[in-house]
Amino acid sequence: MFCPEAEHHTLGLKMCASTFEEYGWITRNLGANLPLEHALYMARKWNPDVIAISFTMSYTIPKLEQYISTFSDINNKPDIIIGSRLLNEYSFEMLKDNHIYLLNDQYSLKNWIIHYAKERALLNMMHGEQR
């Protein structure tokens, strides 16, 4: 998880990391102002299941498409969470995709994590039955 380049507000990022850890996830908080090439390097190195991007300033919005487009080239195709209070104020149609989740508060994040865990458990059960 990280804030994109030129974004320096990390409170939401810290809250997101704490919420994931509360549910037993191993997190890597890469902090604020992370250039795209560094974010991509780390994503390829770690092969995360989920990439979380937090932003609070509207001038960051144009960069989000670039980050998301770049992450679509990662081999393991991680889910991408975009978190911001601005999700209620602007249209983010360009970011809607099967693996992109727009979450505007901690309640939504907790629900997403619970749903994700149930989905993974079901997939693991199905794969276990096939063996």
Does the residue 21 lie in any domain? yes
Decide if pLDDT at 130 tops 70.
no
Domain containing 87: what range? 11-130
Q: Which distant-in-sequence residues (6+ apart) come within 8 Å of 11 by Cβ?
A: none
Q: Which distant-in-sequence residues (6+ apart) come within 8 Å of 84 by Cβ?
A: 12, 54, 55, 56, 104
Considering its fold, how many domains does the chain have in total? 1
Phi, psi of 8 (to 5 degrees): -115, 5
Does the residue 3 lie in any domain? no
Share of the chain above pLDDT 70, in %: 92
Does the residue 1 lie in any domain? no
What six digits make up the tokens of 43?
């994503």
Global pTM reads 0.87
56 and 104 Cβ atoms separated by less than 8 Å: no
Does the residue 5 lie in any domain? no
Does the residue 6 lie in any domain? no
Q: The CATH number of the domain where 55 resides is what?
A: 3.40.50.280
Span 50-93, pLDDT tens digits:
999 999 999 988 888 899 889 877 888 899 999 998 888 888 87
